[in-house]
Amino acid sequence: MSFSLRKDAILGCLLGTAVGDALGLPAEGMSRKRVAAMKLGERHRFIFGRGMFSDDTEHTLMLSAALIEHGHDAAAMQHALGWKLRWWLLALPAGVGLSKAKAILRLWIGFPSRKAGVCSAGNGAAMRSAIIGVVFVDEAAQRQEFALAACRLTHTGPRAEESALLVAEAASMAARRLPLHEVLPALDKLIVSDEMKTRFAAFKTALTGQKSPQDYAMEIGCGDGVSGFAPNTVAVALFTWLRYRGDFETVMRSVIRCGGDTDTVAAITGAICGAETGEASIPRAWIEGICDWPRSINYIRRVADALASENCLAPRYFWPAVPLRNLFFLVIVIWHGFRRMLPPF
């Protein structure tokens, strides 16, 4: 892949992650009916018509920084990511999955990076894996090695590993714009769990029948919302990407309408779709509507530039502001919690 195409895919992947995360965040935990009633996923609605992102984007950016610093050594990358996660937890983020919290606490008490992960089938590893697929777009062995190293830092369950590999592989194929008849067999080779085998069988049938992501989600038992179980999240994300392939706007709206763990499933889907279509296909209002700081859209662009140029120095941001940002974020999350007690309007 040429430098310009690779750079566009990296930036599209990172921006797609942030946009999907920010658009899906206000709908987090809602049923598909309530998401539809409130018309969420159409525009940013986290705070005064603007968006912020959650741990899905933060972890992707931390992993990206670790890849910039140690892109030729998976063990060193894993160790560097472990330290970034330690400091991330100390900044008191608003949402921390139980498995991630346990793994990071194990890191703090002295567990080595290779042994800190806990057996879990949660989304924590899959949500940050797409960028690995794009960075190692033409290097299958490194793609798998780094995806597993990043996964096992926090999640050691076979279904989490399977999901992380599927996301990385999908992002790589999206960046290369491989046709469907090559995508499906490549994904099939990575499927090992009975849960994913069942979901992938339904996946193929639903794609052939041109069913909607909401109908597919219902078929796999997620009719009221996509759960945080990695096989569910990844299956719905991959299906939506392939169902409306190349149409970032339709992909985002459709996957958020499935309800449930909307920020994560939209972040994963946005990352894969963005890797394929680049920044040009992402609505400008969705990018410019994100008002997060100190990890901002400008910071994301600098990270993408460093990854593409194989610079060994990760971009800096004003990290002392992170705890204050997290406190502000928490206040908005609590406000959304009270808002959900009211009827949709």
Q: Are 232 and 222 in contact (CB under 8 A)?
A: yes
| Helical H segments across the chain, by residue range | 3-24, 32-38, 55-69, 74-90, 98-108, 130-135, 140-152, 158-176, 180-190, 194-208, 213-219, 230-243, 248-256, 262-277, 284-288, 297-309, 322-339
Distance CA 301, CA 315 (A): 10
Contacts of residue 227, defined as CB under 8 A and 6 or more positions apart, other chains included, come to 233, 260, 261
Residues forming a β-bridge with 226: 260
pLDDT at 344: 62
pLDDT at 345: 54
Residue 318 burial (10 A CB sphere; 0-12, 13-18, 19+): exposed
Residue 344 lies in a domain: no
pLDDT at 311: 78
Domain range for 255? 3-339
Residue 78 lies in a domain: yes
pLDDT at 176: 97
pLDDT at 15: 98
Residue 31 lies in a domain: yes
Read off the tokens for 55. 């741990």
341 φ/ψ sector (left φ>0, alpha ψ -120 to 50, else beta): alpha
At residue 25's C-alpha, the angle toward residues 286 and 7, to 5°, is: 45
Task: Give the HSE-up count for residue 110: Cα atoms under 13 Å, Cβ half-sphere.
Answer: 0
Tokens 């992993």 sit on residue = 63
Q: Are 52 and 290 in contact (CB under 8 A)?
A: yes
Residue 36 lies in a domain: yes
Q: Give the CATH number of the domain where residue 59 resides.
A: 1.10.4080.10
At 154, the amino acid letter reads T
pLDDT at 305: 96
**pLDDT in tens for each of the 345 residues of the chain?**
787 899 999 999 999 999 999 999 999 999 999 999 899 999 999 999 999 999 999 999 999 999 999 999 999 999 999 999 999 999 999 888 889 999 999 999 999 999 999 999 999 999 999 999 999 999 999 999 999 999 999 999 999 999 999 999 999 999 999 999 999 999 999 999 999 999 999 999 999 999 999 999 999 999 999 999 999 999 999 999 999 999 999 999 999 999 999 999 999 999 999 999 999 999 999 999 999 999 999 999 999 999 999 778 999 999 999 999 999 999 999 998 887 777 765
Residue 69 lies in a domain: yes
User: What DSSP state is assigned to residue 129?
Assistant: -
pTM: predicted TM-score of the whole model, two decimal places? 0.97
Q: Dump the DSSP string for 277-314.
A: H-GGGS-HHHHHTB---SS-HHHHHHHHHHHHHT-SSP
Residue 345 lies in a domain: no
Residue 15 lies in a domain: yes
Q: Are 55 and 85 in contact (CB under 8 A)?
A: no
Specify the number of domains making up the chain. Answer: 1
Residue 255 lies in a domain: yes
